[in-house]
Amino acid sequence: MSDKVYNALFLCTGNSARSIMAEKLLDHWGKGRFKTFSAGSQPAGKVNPFAIETLKSHSLSVEGLRSKSWDEFAVEGAPHLDFVFTVCDNAAGEVCPYWPGQPMTAHWGVEDPAAVEGTDEEKLRAFKTVARHLENRIKLFTSLRLEAFDRLSLKDEIDKIGKTKD
């Protein structure tokens, strides 16, 4: 087994919910194999309170979370990225910055829980559902022996994970 630590970036438009939850879920399930980040093309400026509540319900730390621009990861001195995942349809269709080092990319789109209308209980339920979908995909991803794949085979695997029905 490799001791390499992989850098993974999750992208969404606002970087306030899905990408934030994915970042923390991979940090947890990756068990030190990944350094995780999240960002958005048009950051909301704050993390959605339901995303924070959902992460806390999973006993995950929310310390230091902030909504940030993907531009932070496209400048000199930014972490080298091994994987870039889009988790919302808007970010998947946008022209992304150039990521040095040609990271592997995949689209793992999930519904936007922040778009749910209703009571706070209904909104929280939507966030928890999305977190479960992301968590299932992340568990599949972390079960892969990444070093055992050639680049093309690994790309196929991470694309398949993005198409899994939870």
Using one digit for the tens of pLDDT, what is the confidence trace for 107-120? Answer: 999 999 999 999 99
Please state the rounded mean pLDDT for residues 83-88: 92
Query: Is 145 domain-assigned?
Result: yes
Confidence of residue 159 (pLDDT cuts 50, 70, 90): very high
The 10s digit of each residue's pLDDT in 33-52 is 999 999 998 899 999 999 99
Query: Is 39 domain-assigned?
Result: yes
88 is catalytic: yes
Whole-number Cα distances in Å, 21 to 1, 6, 95, 101, 151: 27, 18, 23, 25, 27
Catalytic residue among 8, 9, 12, 161: 12
84: left (phi over 0), alpha (psi -120 to 50) or beta: beta
How far apart CA 129 and CA 108 sit, in angstroms, is 15
Predicted pLDDT at 74? 84
Predicted pLDDT at 93? 55
Catalytic residue among 8, 88, 114, 134: 88
> Among 27-31, 50-54, 64-68, 101-105, whose mean pLDDT is lowest?
101-105
Confidence of residue 89 (pLDDT cuts 50, 70, 90): low
Query: Is 125 domain-assigned?
Result: yes
Catalytic residue among 74, 78, 96, 116: 96
Total domains, the chain:
1
Predicted pLDDT at 88? 83
Query: Is 111 domain-assigned?
Result: yes
Are the CB atoms for 12 and 40 separated by under 8 Å? yes
Where would I find the H helices in 41-108? 49-57, 89-93
Answer yes or no: pTM beyond 0.85.
Answer: yes
Supply the range of the domain harboring residue 81. Answer: 6-154
Predicted pLDDT at 95? 60
Query: Is 130 domain-assigned?
Result: yes
How far apart CA 138 and CA 22 sit, in angstroms, is 8
